[in-house]
Amino acid sequence: MYSFKNDYSEGAHPNIIEALVKSNLEQTSGYGQDAYTEEAVHSIKEIVKDENVDVHLLVGGTQTNLTAISAFLRPHEAVISVETGHVCVHETGAIEATGHKVIAVPSENGKIRAGQILKVLATHTDEHMVKPKLVYISDSTEIGTIYTKAELEAISSVCKANGLYLFLDGARIGSALMCKENDLKMEDFPSLTDAFYIGGTKNGALMGEALVICNPTLKADFRYHIKQKGGLLAKGRLLGIQFAQLFKEDLFFSLATYANEMADLLRAAIKETGYEFFSESPTNQIFVIFPNEILEKLEKDFDFTIWEKIDEKRTAVRLVTSWATTRKGVESFIKALKDA
Amino acid sequence: MYSFKNDYSEGAHPNIIEALVKSNLEQTSGYGQDAYTEEAVHSIKEIVKDENVDVHLLVGGTQTNLTAISAFLRPHEAVISVETGHVCVHETGAIEATGHKVIAVPSENGKIRAGQILKVLATHTDEHMVKPKLVYISDSTEIGTIYTKAELEAISSVCKANGLYLFLDGARIGSALMCKENDLKMEDFPSLTDAFYIGGTKNGALMGEALVICNPTLKADFRYHIKQKGGLLAKGRLLGIQFAQLFKEDLFFSLATYANEMADLLRAAIKETGYEFFSESPTNQIFVIFPNEILEKLEKDFDFTIWEKIDEKRTAVRLVTSWATTRKGVESFIKALKDA
Amino acid sequence: MYSFKNDYSEGAHPNIIEALVKSNLEQTSGYGQDAYTEEAVHSIKEIVKDENVDVHLLVGGTQTNLTAISAFLRPHEAVISVETGHVCVHETGAIEATGHKVIAVPSENGKIRAGQILKVLATHTDEHMVKPKLVYISDSTEIGTIYTKAELEAISSVCKANGLYLFLDGARIGSALMCKENDLKMEDFPSLTDAFYIGGTKNGALMGEALVICNPTLKADFRYHIKQKGGLLAKGRLLGIQFAQLFKEDLFFSLATYANEMADLLRAAIKETGYEFFSESPTNQIFVIFPNEILEKLEKDFDFTIWEKIDEKRTAVRLVTSWATTRKGVESFIKALKDA
Amino acid sequence: MYSFKNDYSEGAHPNIIEALVKSNLEQTSGYGQDAYTEEAVHSIKEIVKDENVDVHLLVGGTQTNLTAISAFLRPHEAVISVETGHVCVHETGAIEATGHKVIAVPSENGKIRAGQILKVLATHTDEHMVKPKLVYISDSTEIGTIYTKAELEAISSVCKANGLYLFLDGARIGSALMCKENDLKMEDFPSLTDAFYIGGTKNGALMGEALVICNPTLKADFRYHIKQKGGLLAKGRLLGIQFAQLFKEDLFFSLATYANEMADLLRAAIKETGYEFFSESPTNQIFVIFPNEILEKLEKDFDFTIWEKIDEKRTAVRLVTSWATTRKGVESFIKALKDA
């Protein structure tokens, strides 16, 4: 049984494991106030080419989203997200649990368009409704698609013109940036967003998301919020060590590139066999519609996520690759698919 | 420079590291639904000698406290804690951030007495005040003291008689249970408390707290709360692997025993030199009052926490030992102390 | 200028004013623990023909919704509402501010259908999503439509079968029950819903909503929640006096009947003049689409709410009648409409 | 039976009732956007001699406190209050329910001293603890005492110097300002506090508290918060009408003066009879310690609040006077006391 179920099925990249082993008995200060974390923060500032951002390392994605968003907003302010957005459907109401409404707008390929934001503003005009204040987007999106630079610029412009914060969930930002269709760079985000995060969990780390706060007005007292929401790791260096490794010699990017390559192989084979895609994802998540009898055959040897029933005969499934996906795993899947 | 600053200065016990390395490239299901977590949960049920408890593995202590307490209480219900309790002072209002008041009562050696609980109940009699519903205690306490079995039984009785939940924060439960003065066992907690947690972070793990829910009425839907509060680790097996190791061949207990031994050495030397203790801790945290000139000398080679200014001439400091404290470190401190 | 803007433009029915004046200098206990409140509660139990319900008098609708819903739900539980539901759009995120997601489903004439509830349940299957637990409906709805007994029974059945609470917002329940198309009675609600409220503000009172809790498991400690959310009125008798009057000699129902009659007159005239209705409301809210030039003429002498721009040439408006609407006001509007 | 139980036992001053009756059938806009509210706001700006403040009329005290405080604070920020403060003990955790810790400090005559604030700041130094941000005081206090101008200036200075907001709960500000020992004026508050409220409920209105926001940074979007917390009254003019009347010809002040006079009569008689006072209140709340046998006699004909058991033989009680207290009621109490 080989799993394409997600990009967090395995542990961490060997470089990271090695660094953890090597540093294991060193004594450091707790709560992220150690030299490794400092090194990681420094690396990330270099990668995003902005010395003025604040960087905080957190354990997980939902934790990062809820901590950042609740820190950024006043009680009456709300989030705008596509209805497929992670904060909207897959975080058990984590944002609402901090008191804020998530206004869902229809998704087009998993993405929000600038015009939709304006429409939300136009229908939220007085104190009887929440005040939209933060636009939440994911890149890559929850269905594997990516934002073009032009799209992100348009969204960013609308946000700036209307006093909205733009927050980018980068749980899979590595795969997004490294895919062929992408024209965005890590260094674009500090000027285009108010805050974003770089996902480690799904790209080589045991765990960890690096939150980058770009808008100076959002920086104050952020560590209080991490602590209050239960996200301040006692052995904070664990995150520092990992991100320091991820940004050594571009490991983060080469891991994402590899994950995308494995996805490309799968995609090419699926195209060849003629099955329809559920979304046009160029990244490490592939959404494909299989006839149920094909599905049943594949399920014998492979693990993946049943996404959605399309009709009586067909089902959409999600296949995910990662830095840890083996070429052999991919090849055996392709063979099974062709034989099916 | 050697640090007695805390029990989370180093990484994890080598057994744990080895297990992480060994399992690193295995594929498992995410979010704690893997065989390692199952194994850990099984071990913990054996250790607490109760098959009916529910066990959940979380990353950190504040996260565990806030997730459990907010899951257990209705909006108008409040926590009773001594004023030195971790939830009361050192979690940045994490409990209040979930909507619940923490009623602080004076501490006696870091502990609450059954009579204090009754007094709180007697003064909270109608709907104009919060309804006390959960008693929070720590063992060992925030100042290193421990509860005797008789004390815990008295508290438990009062709670049961008055419909209160008893929640025990066991961030340092290993050191508490292994110290000489202790007469409690892990298997006492399922009947004496409604929920408690076993701290891994401070006793050999990279991170991790095992929450044990004993009261059946508190079990339903608990994973929803973990997810909502940002505590559901994607690579949940990391916690499973660690707790499985901690409860193999009683590693958890032998690590705590070792930490206590190191503390005993320090304590004995301090007693010999005649300095006064700030609290009567028999566990791995030592609170001692040093004249400031001694303090300054020790600070040159050792790291520890300045706890409280006693007067113009004396300061209370906290020294913490752990599984990772070296005998050499302890000996050099003792020497420095005697030479000072 | 005559206003059809809403049903809370005037003060209270003279009987209520008189009772307030008469009782003004009497001394009573505070916080709703007075004989008038007792009388009102008794009357309401009689009206709903159920001695076992709990009745609480609150000041306003949003307050009642947020207090009840947050008291009824655990943190991970969510509300299901049509997207036009008051809690969903017009309460400034009041429900989310208490920590709960409102899951919006498309509305059909302002109403939810039983099948939609099942669909929500089918897509909320694990702890990564909120747990739907309470269905919120309004009768009459936000666009003036009403539920038939059969519809409400179907919804109630689905709720009971799936462990969901059914909560009915009756801000305009008087108009709903008194309109010709209605086949529900006040006495149907205790068995069909878990809680509902009877709106006083929009049917003759200065202010006040009477919450009726039918499900015994939802009753405990409710006054704590009212107090905590800021809704426990010091001079609580003000609410008692008003509801006692409203249910004397069926005043509540005759006021609603009168409001509906005034609406019927307007509706008939609009039908006659041939303008299209925006919703098929049989109650005291009328939603009609006017050509913009007609709108402009009417605006000179009448106040009403601009609801929605339909296209470049037409606009939907809302006209509301109440117990206080004068026949003369209605007639002058009809004349203006016919002359326009 | 005559009641000295509280200052909200009766309805409203006749002037207010008359104004409500007179305006009853007028049509006005809802939600406080009417001419009466405008008039009341204007009067209050005149009374406080500051045109730049924002004034909002709310229904009750707990509602005002929770709405203002939650609007003013970020999630990690906390309130400082004396342990007898209303928000601390008598609002069912309303502030905590909005996510904020209330840090309790010992009270001296119901008052906080500037030095206590500094002490709290000195012990809240990092992100592991909440960040104190708002000082809550009441004038008169919960035990009837008042702040001198010098005391308030000292507190205000400490707040300004340390970036803290000062919020004054004026539920009984009328009695405080009109008592003989007082040297503060309404016009002092805009410069000394960041926000305060003028209590109507306990000084002649049916209900209503006028929140005055003085600090410009706290003004934005405040109506959103009122609505979200359930405090935006549909027939908002009810509050406008009442406050407009209260500030016509100084009615507010003369009512408070009268209440104080009645209290002075009681106080003088108590002094004469030689019973000990529980607090040195110069305002309309009197706290006196009676032998239990005296208490029992008085209870036959008078209603008051049992405050606290002093010892086996004596009990502290609270007597409250108001604008509605009759001279005859006072005289009969004095007679009963002397005869007892």
| CATH code for position B290 | 3.90.1150.10
Q: Is A23 on the interface with B (CB under 8 A)?
A: yes
Q: Nearest to residue C229, comparing CAs of D229, B124, A74? A: D229
Mean model confidence pLDDT for chain C: 97
Tell me, yes or no, whether B231 and B82 share the same domain. yes
Q: Nearest to residue C53, comparing CAs of C214, C242, C168? A: C214
B200 pLDDT band (50/70/90 cuts)? Answer: very high
Helical (H) or strand (E) element with B277: strand B276-277
A70:D70 CB<8 A: no
Chain A's closest residue to D70, CA to CA, is A75
Beta strands C276-277 and C285-291: pairing type? antiparallel
Angle at D122 between CA D121 and CA D126, to 5 degrees: 80
Q: Which residues of A touch C96 (CB under 8 A)?
A: 78, 96, 99-101, 130
Cα(B2)–Cα(B326) distance, rounded to whole angstroms? Answer: 9
Q: Is D242 on the interface with C (CB under 8 A)?
A: no
Q: Nearest to residue D213, comparing CAs of D226, D231, D228? A: D226
Chain D 260-279, residues with CB within 8 Å of chain B CB atoms:
none
Chain D's closest residue to B308, CA to CA, is D123
C232:B127 CB<8 A: yes
Q: Is A276 helix (H, G, I), strand (E, B) or coil?
A: strand
What is the total count of domains within chain C? 2
Cα(C177)–Cα(C332) distance, rounded to whole angstroms? Answer: 27
C285, C319 Cβ separation under 8 angstroms: yes
Nearest CB to C75; choose among A76, A97, A127: A97
Cα(C83)–Cα(C89) distance, rounded to whole angstroms? Answer: 7
Nearest CB to C24; choose among D17, D63, D231: D17
Beta strands A77-82 and A131-138: pairing type? parallel
Mean model confidence pLDDT for chain A: 97
Q: How far is CA D110 from CA D85, D106, D144, D146, in A?
A: 8, 9, 8, 9
Tell me which of C212, C227, C246 is where a domain ends: C246
Give me the interface pTM, i.e. the ipTM.
0.97
A165, A134 Cβ separation under 8 angstroms: yes
Tell me which of B199, B226, B246 is where a domain ends: B246
Q: Which residues of A touch B62 (CB under 8 A)?
A: 227, 230, 232
- CB count within 10 Å of CB D24 equals 17
C127:B226 CB<8 A: yes
Chain B 168-197, residues with CB within 8 Å of chain A CB atoms:
none
Tell me, yes or no, whether C126 and C110 share the same domain. yes
Cα(D199)–Cα(B276) distance, rounded to whole angstroms? Answer: 54
| pLDDT higher than threshold 90 for residue A340 | no
C197 pLDDT band (50/70/90 cuts)? Answer: very high
B227:C128 CB<8 A: yes
Structure tokens at D125: 């130094």
| pLDDT higher than threshold 90 for residue B31 | yes
- The whole-number pLDDT of residue B45 equals 98
- The whole-number pLDDT of residue B170 equals 98
Q: Is A245 helix (H, G, I), strand (E, B) or coil?
A: helix
Structure tokens at C229: 């959310």
Chain B 136-175, residues with CB within 8 Å of chain A CB atoms:
none
DSSP conformational letter for C218: G
Amino acid at D318: R
pLDDT one-digit tens code per residue, A308-337: 999 999 999 999 999 999 999 999 999 999
Tell me which of C246, C279, C308 is where a domain ends: C246
| pLDDT higher than threshold 90 for residue D340 | no
Tell me, yes or no, whether C115 and C261 share the same domain. no
- The whole-number pLDDT of residue A285 equals 98
pLDDT one-digit tens code per residue, A58-88: 999 999 999 999 999 999 999 999 999 999 9
Q: Is C207 on the interface with A (CB under 8 A)?
A: no
Amino acid at B225: H
Interface with D, mutate which of C92, C201, C227 (most D CBs under 10 A): C92
Q: How far is A133 from chain D (nearest CA, A)?
A: 12
| pLDDT higher than threshold 90 for residue B124 | yes
The CATH number of the domain holding residue B233 is: 3.40.640.10
Tell me, yes or no, whether C214 and C330 share the same domain. no
DSSP-assigned beta bridge partners for residue C291:
C314
- The answer to whether the peptide bond before residue D140 is cis (omega within 30 degrees of 0) is yes
Start-to-end CA span in chain D (Å): 16
pTM as predicted: 0.98
Interface with B, mutate which of A27, A87, A320 (most B CBs under 10 A): A27
Cα(A176)–Cα(A147) distance, rounded to whole angstroms? Answer: 8
Residue with tokens 């594949």: A298
A127:C78 CB<8 A: no
C90:A130 CB<8 A: no
| pLDDT higher than threshold 90 for residue B195 | yes
- The whole-number pLDDT of residue C320 equals 98
pLDDT one-digit tens code per residue, A27-67: 999 999 999 999 999 999 999 999 999 999 999 999 999 99
Q: How far is D328 from chain C (nearest CA, A)?
A: 14
Cα(B131)–Cα(B79) distance, rounded to whole angstroms? Answer: 9
Q: Is D63 on the interface with C (CB under 8 A)?
A: yes
Q: Is C318 on the interface with B (CB under 8 A)?
A: no
Nearest CB to C93; choose among A89, A93, A100: A100
Amino acid at B167: F
Tell me, yes or no, whether D182 and D317 share the same domain. no
Q: How far is A206 from chain D (nearest CA, A)?
A: 26
Q: Which residues of B touch A9 (CB under 8 A)?
A: 27-30
From the number of C-beta atoms within 10 Å of its C-beta (0-12, 13-18, 19+), residue B22 rates as exposed
Q: Is C87 on the interface with A (CB under 8 A)?
A: no
pLDDT one-digit tens code per residue, A170-226: 999 999 999 999 999 999 999 999 999 999 999 999 999 999 999 999 999 999 999
Q: Is B133 on the interface with C (CB under 8 A)?
A: no
Cα(C88)–Cα(A223) distance, rounded to whole angstroms? Answer: 33
DSSP-assigned beta bridge partners for residue A77:
A131
Mean pLDDT of D199-208: 98
Q: Is A275 helix (H, G, I), strand (E, B) or coil?
A: coil
Residue with tokens 């639904």: B33
Half-sphere exposure of C134 (CA within 13 A, CB side): 29
Q: Nearest to residue B137, comparing CAs of B126, B125, B145, B129? A: B145
Helical (H) or strand (E) element with B82: strand B77-82
Cα(A208)–Cα(A202) distance, rounded to whole angstroms? Answer: 9
Chain C's closest residue to B231, CA to CA, is C128
| pLDDT higher than threshold 90 for residue C340 | no
Residues 6+ apart with CB under 8 A from A44: A53, A55, A198, A210, A212, A243, A247
Cα(B39)–Cα(D252) distance, rounded to whole angstroms? Answer: 71
Structure tokens at A279: 């979304």
Q: Is C224 on the interface with B (CB under 8 A)?
A: yes
Tell me, yes or no, whether B69 and B145 share the same domain. yes
- The whole-number pLDDT of residue B340 equals 86
Q: Nearest to residue C93, comparing CAs of A121, D97, A78? A: A78
Amino acid at B340: A
Chains that touch C (3 or more CB pairs under 8 A): A, B, D
pLDDT one-digit tens code per residue, D140-150: 999 999 999 99
C111 pLDDT band (50/70/90 cuts)? Answer: very high
Q: How far is D333 from chain A (nearest CA, A)?
A: 49
Residue D303 structural domain: 2-7+251-339
Cα(C226)–Cα(D281) distance, rounded to whole angstroms? Answer: 31
Q: Is D228 on the interface with A (CB under 8 A)?
A: yes
User: Can you state the angle between helices A251-273 and A237-246, rounded to 10 degrees?
Assistant: 70
User: Can you state the angle between helices B237-246 and B14-23, rounded to 10 degrees?
Assistant: 140
Chains that touch B (3 or more CB pairs under 8 A): A, C, D
pLDDT one-digit tens code per residue, B267-317: 999 999 999 999 999 999 999 999 999 999 999 999 999 999 999 999 999
pLDDT one-digit tens code per residue, C168-181: 999 999 999 999 99
Mean pLDDT of B69-96: 98
Mean model confidence pLDDT for chain D: 97
From the number of C-beta atoms within 10 Å of its C-beta (0-12, 13-18, 19+), residue B150 rates as exposed
Chains that touch D (3 or more CB pairs under 8 A): A, B, C
Amino acid at C195: A
Q: Is C29 on the interface with B (CB under 8 A)?
A: no
For the beta sheet containing C314-320, the strands, ordered from the edge strand earlier in sequence to the opposite edge, are C276-277, C285-291, C314-320, C305-309
Cα(B296)–Cα(B292) distance, rounded to whole angstroms? Answer: 6
Tell me, yes or no, whether C199 and C261 share the same domain. no
Q: Is C235 on the interface with A (CB under 8 A)?
A: no
- SS3 sequence of A163-221: CCEEEEECCCHHHHHHCCCCCCCHHHHHHHCCEEEEECCCCCCCCCEEEEECCHHHCCC
Q: Is A99 on the interface with D (CB under 8 A)?
A: yes
pLDDT one-digit tens code per residue, D166-184: 999 999 999 999 999 999 9
Nearest CB to B225; choose among C76, C128, C224: C76
Tell me, yes or no, whether B196 and B289 share the same domain. no
Cα(B19)–Cα(B12) distance, rounded to whole angstroms? Answer: 11
pLDDT one-digit tens code per residue, D221-254: 999 999 999 999 999 999 999 999 999 999 999 9
Residue with tokens 């302010």: A77
- CB count within 10 Å of CB B295 equals 17
Angle at D312 between CA B125 and CA D282, to 5 degrees: 70
Structure tokens at D275: 């019973």
Q: Which residues of B touch A14 (CB under 8 A)?
A: 24
Tell me, yes or no, whether B103 and B144 share the same domain. yes
Tell me, yes or no, whether D207 and D257 share the same domain. no
Cα(B18)–Cα(B248) distance, rounded to whole angstroms? Answer: 13
Nearest CB to C23; choose among D11, D231, D232: D11
Nearest CB to D201; choose among C10, C91, C234: C234
Q: Is D99 on the interface with C (CB under 8 A)?
A: no
Tell me, yes or no, whether D241 and D289 share the same domain. no
D320 pLDDT band (50/70/90 cuts)? Answer: very high
Interface with C, mutate which of B56, B228, B232, B233 (most C CBs under 10 A): B228
Tell me, yes or no, whether A280 and A230 share the same domain. no
Nearest CB to B127; choose among C70, C74, C223: C223
- Dihedral of CA atoms B319, B320, B325, B329 in degrees, nearest 10, equals 0
Half-sphere exposure of B237 (CA within 13 A, CB side): 23
Nearest CB to B75; choose among C71, C127, C223: C71
Structure tokens at C47: 């009206």
A52, A219 Cβ separation under 8 angstroms: no
Interface with A, mutate which of C96, C125, C129, C308 (most A CBs under 10 A): C96
Q: Which residues of D touch A217 (CB under 8 A)?
A: none
Nearest CB to B130; choose among D75, D78, D92: D92
B295, B266 Cβ separation under 8 angstroms: no
- CB count within 10 Å of CB B255 equals 23
